[in-house]
Structure formats: C-alpha cells, structure tokens
Amino acid sequence: MNTKFRAKAMKEDNNSDKITRKEAIQKMGKYAALTAVGTFVILNPLKAQSSSPPDAGGDPFD
C-alpha cells in the first residue's frame, strides 16, 4: 500500500467521528436542559418544604 494513500485514508477515518462546533453546542444545550430538569425534580422546593418538620422554636433571630 502506498504511504501517501494510507495517510490520506487515515485522515479521512479520523474526520468521520468529529462533530462541528455548532453540533457540540447543541448537544451541550440538550444535556444542560436535561440536567436542569432532573435537578429540579430531585430538589423540588415545594415537596421538600412540605416534608420538613414544623418550626419548633420560632425564629431564633427574633
């Protein structure tokens, strides 16, 4: 096999799995949105507030 042909074939293989900057930003945006939704579901403030014990001593700074 010719060395120049082999080098060109390897370059073509390496470029096939790369993505553009625009595609990378889109994928990151989707991941960030999914992470935000997951975090909100896990740390839902209304659910956490309703399951916390009632205030036993009042406001300590009053």
Per-residue pLDDT tens digits for 1-47: 566 666 565 555 556 689 999 999 999 999 999 999 998 888 876 76
Name all contacts of 49-57 with Cβ < 8 Å and 24+ positions apart.
Answer: none
Model confidence over 44-56: pLDDT tens digits? 767 656 666 666 6
What's residue 5's pLDDT?
60
> What number of other Cβ atoms are within 10 A of residue 29's Cβ?
10
**What pLDDT, on a 0 to 100 scale, did the predictor assign at position 42?**
85
- Would you tell me how many other CB atoms lie within 10 Å of the CB of residue 3? 7
**pLDDT (0 to 100) of residue 44:** 79
